[in-house]
Amino acid sequence: MRLRSAFAAALGAVLLVTAAPGSASAASGQFRYSYVTVDGDEASGFLNSPPSGRCIDLHGVGQENPRPGHSPKNRTDAWATVYSGTGCKGDSFRLRPRTGGASERLKVRSVIFG
């Protein structure tokens, strides 16, 4: 009887561990971009160790700013896909890990890593 109880407890523990969600992964490093503020000033934005697999609308270049960001530089250890629109919509372009970058001709408003 004790063996059956021990087995049931062990099986329950295994099921709990495998059913629990894993920890969120993040891209290690920094993602940078440039933009012009609504006041006309040049600015830089960056994301440090951004989460993977989640769309991120870039600060300063959302719907409130008619001008998108530009010149993205991916210095993370994950692929970055940048989008011309918010919510990871619109035209997209992939930037390789660590050395990926583009000129000011590439316009960006959101990014996803992974």
pLDDT tens digits, 87-96: 999 999 999 9
Considering only CA atoms, give the Rg of the chain: 21
Bridge partners of residue 48, in order along the sequence? 30
Domains of the chain with CATH codes: 29-113 (2.60.20.10)
CB 79 within 8 A of CB 95: yes
The pLDDT value recorded for residue 64 is 85
25 pLDDT band, cuts 50/70/90, is confident
> How far is Cα 47 from Cα 29, in angstroms, rounded to an integer?
8
pTM of the model: 0.77
Q: Using one digit for the tens of pLDDT, what is the confidence trace for 41-93? A: 999 999 999 999 999 999 999 888 999 999 999 999 999 999 999 999 999 99
CB 47 within 8 A of CB 7: no
CB 93 within 8 A of CB 59: no
The pLDDT value recorded for residue 100 is 93
